Structure 1
Amino acid sequence: MGGKISQVRSDNELAFYTNSASERILDITRSNHFVYRENIVAGYTNFSTSLGDKWKLQAGLRAEQTRSKGNSRTLGTTTARRYLDLFPSMFVQQNVSKEYQVSYQYSRRISRPRYEDLNPFVFFLDPYTFAQGNPQLRPQYTNSWQVSQTLKSTYNLTLGFARTADYIAEIPTQNAQDTLTLMQQRNVDRFDQLNGTLSVPVKLGSKWQMNNVLSVAYQHFQTELQGQKVNNRQLHYFLQSSQQVQLPGQLKLEVSGMYLGPQAYGIYQVKPIWWVDAGLKRSFLGDKLDVSLNVVDIFRSRQLRGSFQTASNRTAFDVYRGTQSVGLQVRYSFSKGAAFKAKTRTTNLDELNRAKD
C-alpha cells in the first residue's frame, strides 16, 4: 500500500509591447497570461501470490482524486474540474515449461492534457492558420489487454487490444466565412487498436548480433467533425532492426533502422516514414577510455507527412524536425580497486512531461 500527492502550479505569461516615441505600450490582443493549478491525491494497493509451481498472480488498484483550475487572466475565463478515478491492473504468468512462458495482463491508465493545450489564448501560425488551447479538454483513458508468449527466454510474441476513450488529437476546423483554419487539440470519441508484435534476436557467429522486431496493428479512430461521423481506419505495421558487429582493431559498429508503414492518427492519414542511425565505438587503455562517433538519421529521411480530406477542404502537413546530427563522445572511467556500479536517479514524472512543448 502507498500514496502520492502531486501539486502543480504552471504560470505562463507572454507580454507583447509596441514602441511609441516615449514609452512601451502593452498590446493586450497579443499578450497572454495563463495560470493552471492541479492537485492529485492518489492511493494504491498491490497483491501478489504464487499458485503452485506454474502460476503467479499480481493485482493492483490505484485511486486518484484530481482537482484542477485553469485561469486565463488575459481573457478573464476560468475552468475548474474535480473527478475521482480507479485504475485496476492484473498480471498472470503461466510457466508452461522451463523454456516456454505465457503471461496475461490487463490495465487501465490515464493520460492528461499538456498544460499549454488547456490555454484558450489564440496564437496565429500564419495569415491563414491559428492555434488555440482547449480548456474543455478531458483526460484520455485506456483499457488494454495483452497476452505475451516467451520461448527460451529469447523469442517473444505479444498479442494485444487497447481501447482509448476521449483520445486527445489535433483537429483542424476551417471557418467557411473567412477560410481561416483553427488547429486545436480535442477529444476523439474512441480509438481502438488490435496489434501483434514479434521479437526475434539472431546471433550470427561470435561477432555479429541482431535484434529484429515486427509489429502489425489495426487502428480505428471514431469521432464527429462538423456534424459528420468520421471513421479513420488503417492497417499499420513497423519493422525495426538493430545490428551490433565486432570489427577488427577493437572497433564496434552498431546500425539500427526503422520503417513505419502508413498509420492513422486522429482524423489524419500519416504516410510511411523510415530512418537509419549508426555508431562506431573504440576502447583504449584497457577499456577505461571509450571514443564513440554517432550519426542520427543518416539519410535525412525522418520526415513526417500526412493529410486529411473533406468534401471541400484538404489539410496536410510536412514536417522535418532537424533530427539529422553527428556526435563525438569521449568517456573515461576513473574507478579504482573493486568494481562498482554508480547509482543513477531517473525521473519520469507525468507532470514534467506535460509541461514540455
Structure 2
Amino acid sequence: MSRNLFIIVLLIITPFCGWGQVDTIADQKLQEVVIMAKLPTVEMKPGKMTYRLDASITQSQGNVYDVLTSLPGVVIQNDGTIFLNGQNGANILMDGKPTYLLGQDLVNLLKSTPASITDKIDLITQPSARYDASGNSGIIDIRTKKILRRGMNLSVNGSYDQGKYGEGFASTTLNLRTNKFNFYLSYSYSRKNDYDDLYVERSYLEGWRPEGETGQMTQSSYRTWKNKSNYYRFGIDYQMSEKTTIGLSTDGNLAGSKVEGDMNSSIPKRSPQTGGLLRTLNDQNRSRDNFTAVLSLTHTFNSDGGVLDASMDYLRYRYEEDQYLNSQDTLFGDMGGGIHLYSGQANLVWPFSKSFTFHAGAKTSFVSIDNNADYNRLQGDSWQSDHDLSCDFQYDENINAGYIQLDAKFSSVSLEAGLRLENTRIEGEQSGNAYQRDSSFTNHYTHLFPTLSVQYALRNGNSLSLTYGKRIVRPNYRDLNPFVYIHDEYTYDKGNTLLRPELSDNLELAYIHGDLFRVGLAFNYTKDVIIKSYLDQGNYVVYVSPENLSSRVSVGPRLSTSQLPLTSFWNVNVSASWIYNRYRLPENYQVKVNERWTPNIGISNQFNFARTWSAELIGFYNGKMAAGQATIYPLWQINVGIQKKIWKGRGTIQLFARDIFHSNVSRMSVMTPTQHAFIKERMSRTVVGISLTYRINRGLEVKESHRKHSVDESKRINL
C-alpha cells in the first residue's frame, strides 16, 4: 500500500515542481508559439478526451494496442475485455465504424494496426444520439490520418524497438489532392515476436476440496508469438459539384502468427492415486484476413450548414487456426470461420436558425458469423473425431436504428437533446452430431436511448455541463457460442446462450475552466452486468463462461487538464479519477458484494527545448479495481522519448522507451463459490526503440473554408 501511495504522489507532484519558477513570457514569445502551430497532445470537451498521436513521441510509434494500454484509465486484458475509467464494456471504433471483432481477434487487430497511420484517439464517455448505443463505459474511436494539403504528399516511416524480443514497423502513405479528386494510399508491414508469462494459483475453499487432497493447484505457462502483419488502405474522393462529394475507401489486414505454449500444472499429492505434475504443450498456427469497403456520399444543401451524408459498408473477416495439444493424450483441432457485415446509414443535419439545429438519421446492419471446430484425438496409431468438442456455430444479427437530436444555443446555455431507437434480432444455431443434439436460440428486443447535454457558460470562458446517456452492451457472438475452447487440461472456455444484454444509465456533472482543466462527478448504474464466471467442474477442471450479475454501481470524481504551461518550454496534461465500483454477486457466493474505490492518474509532460528539439515523459497509475468476480491489482508505466527534426523539417528522428521500470504487469484475484484464484501475467511491454520519418509535400494548403468543411466532415459520425 505504501508503495502504491508513493507512486501516486510521485506522479502528482512531478509536473508541479516548476510552478514556482514560471517565467513571465513576453507577448512576442507567445506569438512565436502560436505561429509554430504545434498541435496539443490532449484536447478536452464535455464527455470527451482526444489524444493526438502525432503530437506525442512515445505514442506515435509501435502499434495501436501499445498506445491504448498507455492511455490513463484504459485497461485491456488479454481476453479482449476493455476497461475505461474503471468500467468495462468500452466499444472500439475505427474511423467511427464498429470493428465487430472481440476477444483475442480484437487484440490481434489492435496489435497489427500501426500507430504511424493513426491521427488521434477519442475517449468518449458520453456519446450523443448519433452514435451506436453500444458500449457501457463509452467509446474508444481510433481515427486514421487524413491529409488536407493539395498536391502530392508522401510520408515514409520505419521503426524498430527491442525488448526481450524485437519488433519492426515500416509504413508509407501517399496522398494526391486536386480541386476535384483526393486519392490516398497507405501500406505498412510489421513483424513482431512476443511472449506471455502466466502464473495461476488455485485454492479450494473448506468443504469443497477433493477428498484426501490439499485443494491446492498451481499452473505456470510460457508462450511465444511470432507475428507478421500487412495493413493496406486505399481511397478516392470525387467532388461532383460544389455541394456534392462521393467517396470509396477500402482497408484490410493480412496477418499470421505462430504460437508455442508450454503449461505445467502441479497438484500436491496426498494420496498415490491423485496429484502430480502434468505438462501440456499447446501450439497454434493462425491466419487472419479482414477487408472493409465503404461507399459514401456527402451533399451540402446551403451555406448555413445543411448536410446529408450517407454510406454503405461491407466488412469481411476470415480466420483459420490449427491447434495441437499434447498432455495425457494428444488432441488436434482445426478451427475456422468468418464474419460478413452489410450496413447502410444516412444522417441529416439541418440548421433552422443560428440557434437551432436538427439532426436525424437511420441505420440498418446485417451480421452473419460462422465458426467451426473439428477436434481429433490420437488413439493408438489413428486419429478419432472428438464429437464432444467439435461443432459448427452459425450466428445472425440484424440491428435497425433511428435517431433524432435537437441542438439549441442561447446567450449562455447550449443544449443537445436526442433520442435513439434500436431494434435487435438475433438467431444462433449449433449443429449437432451423433453424440450431442443441435441447439438454437433467438432473441428480439427494442430499446430507447435518450441522451442529454446541457452547458451553461459562466464568466471568463468557464462553464458548467450536465450530460446523460443510456447505453447497452449486447452479448457478443463468442459469449453466446456454446462451443468449447481448450486452453489446457484444466481450463476451458464456453459460451452461454441465455445471456441478456446489459443496460446502463450514465450521468456526469462537470465544471470546465476555459481550456485549462475540467473537473466532474460521474455516476453509472448498470443492470444485468455481463462478466466472466469461473465454474468448477470437479477434478480441478474450470469452465470460464459469461453470466449476468444483477447490477453494478459506479460513482466518483474525474479531473483532466490540457496543455498547462509550467514554463516557457514545459507543458503538462493530467488526467485523474477516483471511481467507486460495486458489483452485486449471485446468492451462492460467500461474498455477496465486490466493491472498491479505484484511483487512476495519468500525466504527460512535453518539453520543447528549441524549434527542432523536443522530449516527452509520460506516466500512468491504475489502482486496485473491482471487476465482477475479480479484483484487478494496481499497475503503472512510465515512457520517455526525445525527438529531433532534421532535413529542414522534412524528417523526424525519435528515440523512445516504454515501460522503463517493467512495471506494467497484470495481476488479479478471482472469487468463485468453491475456490479462490490468483493470476499473474507478464507480456513484452518494456522496449527501447528508434523511429525515422521522411515527408515530401508538394502543393498548397487547403483554403480555410475548404479546411473547415473537411474537418467538419471528419468529425461527423455515422450511425
With the length of structure 2 as denominator, give the TM-score of the two structures. Answer: 0.45
Aligned with 1:98: secondary structure?
Answer: helix
Say which is worse superposed, 259-268 or 202-211, in terms of deviation. Answer: 202-211
2:318 corresponding residue in structure 1: none
Equivalent residue, structure 1, for 2:691: 329
- Which one of the candidate residues 604, 614, 638 is aligned to 1:252? 614
Larger deviation, residues 194-203 vs 182-191 = 194-203
Asked whether 1:210 is paired with 2:592, we answer no
Q: Which has the higher strand share?
A: 1
Residue 40 (1) aligns with residue 399 (2): yes
TM-fit CA distance, 1:347? 12
Residue pairs, 1:60-75, within 5 angstroms? 60-74=418-432
Alignment CA distance shift 1:325-1:138 (3 Å): farther
Name the CA distance, whole Å, in 2 between partners of 1:197 and 1:268. 24
Partner secondary structure for residue 320 of structure 1: strand
Distance in 2 (alpha carbons) for counterparts of 1:70 and 1:158: 42
Q: Which moved more, 1:330-339 or 1:210-219?
A: 330-339
Q: Where does 1:95-106 land on structure 2 (aligned, <5 Å)?
A: 95-106=457-468
Displacement after TM superposition at 1:334 (Å) = 1.5
Quick check: 2:598–2:625 contact (8 Å CA) kept in 1?
yes
Q: Which amino acid aligns with 2:536?
A: Q
Query: 1:336 offset after TM fit, Å?
Result: 1.5
Q: Any stretches of 5+ residues in structure 1 without a counterpart? A: 351-357
Q: Secondary structure of the equivalent of 1:224? A: coil
Task: In structure 2, give the amino acid aligned to 1:233.
Answer: E
Q: Relative CO higher for 1 or 2, CA cutoff 8 Å, sep ≥ 6?
A: 2
Tell me which residue corresponds to 1:186. Answer: 547
Q: CA RMSD in A?
A: 2.8
Q: Provide, for residues 171-207 of structure 1, a one-character-per-residue CA deviation record: whole Å limited to 9, x for no partner.
A: 11223x4342221111121111111111234322221
2:413 alignment counterpart: 55
1:241-291 Cα offsets, whole Å, 9 max, x none, are 111112469332112111111110002122111111222222112211122
Alignment of 1:299-338 (within 5 A): 299-309=661-671, 312-338=674-700
CA distance in 1, matches of 2:391, 2:717: 29
Q: Which amino acid aligns with 1:91?
A: S
- Gap regions ≥5 residues in structure 2: 1-359
- Residue 45 of structure 1 aligns to which amino acid in structure 2? I
Could you say what secondary structure the match of 1:298 adopts? coil
Q: State the AA in 1 paired with 2:519.
A: L
Q: 1:4 aligns with which of 360, 363, 366?
A: 363
- Deviation (angstroms), 1:231: 0.5
* Match status 1:198 vs 2:556: no
Q: How many residues align?
A: 348
Q: Is the 8 A contact 2:589 2:672 kept in 1?
A: no
Mapped to 1, the partners of 2:485 and 2:615 lie a distance apart of 46
Task: Summarize the Cα distance change of 1:212–1:255 in structure 2 as closer, same or farther, 3 Å threshold.
Answer: same
Q: Deviations over 1:28-84 (max 9, x none)?
A: 33323211110001011111213x401111111110111001111255111110000
Q: Check 1:102–1:9 CA distance in 2 against 1; reply closer, same or farther (3 A cut).
A: same
- Classify the secondary structure of the residue corresponding to 2:398: strand
Find the counterpart in structure 2 of residue 292 from structure 1: 654
Query: Is the 8 Å Cα contact of residues 536 and 674 (structure 2) preserved in structure 1?
Result: no
Supply the distance in 2 between the matched residues of 1:22 and 1:181 (Cα, whole angstroms): 30
Q: Against the structure 1 CA distance between its residues 69 and 326, is the aligned structure 2 distance closer, same or farther, given a 3 Å change threshold? A: farther
**Equivalent in the alignment of 2:501:** 139
Residues 93, 212 of structure 1: alpha-carbon distance in 2 compared, 3 angstrom cutoff? same
| Alignment partners' CA distance in 1, 2:570 and 2:427 | 55
Deviations 1:111-156 (A, max 9, x none): 2223212111222322222221111122221101111111122111
In 2, the alpha carbon distance for the partners of 1:323 and 1:348 equals 33
Instruction: Report the 3-state secondary structure (helix = DSSP H, G, I; strand = E; otherwise coil) of the residue aligned with 1:16.
Output: strand
Give the 3-state SS of the residue equivalent to 2:549 in structure 1. Answer: strand
In proportion to residue count, which structure has more helix? Answer: 2
For 2:467, what is the secondary structure of its paired residue?
strand
Is the Cα–Cα contact under 8 Å of residues 221 and 232 in structure 1 kept in the other structure? yes
Identity fraction in percent: 26
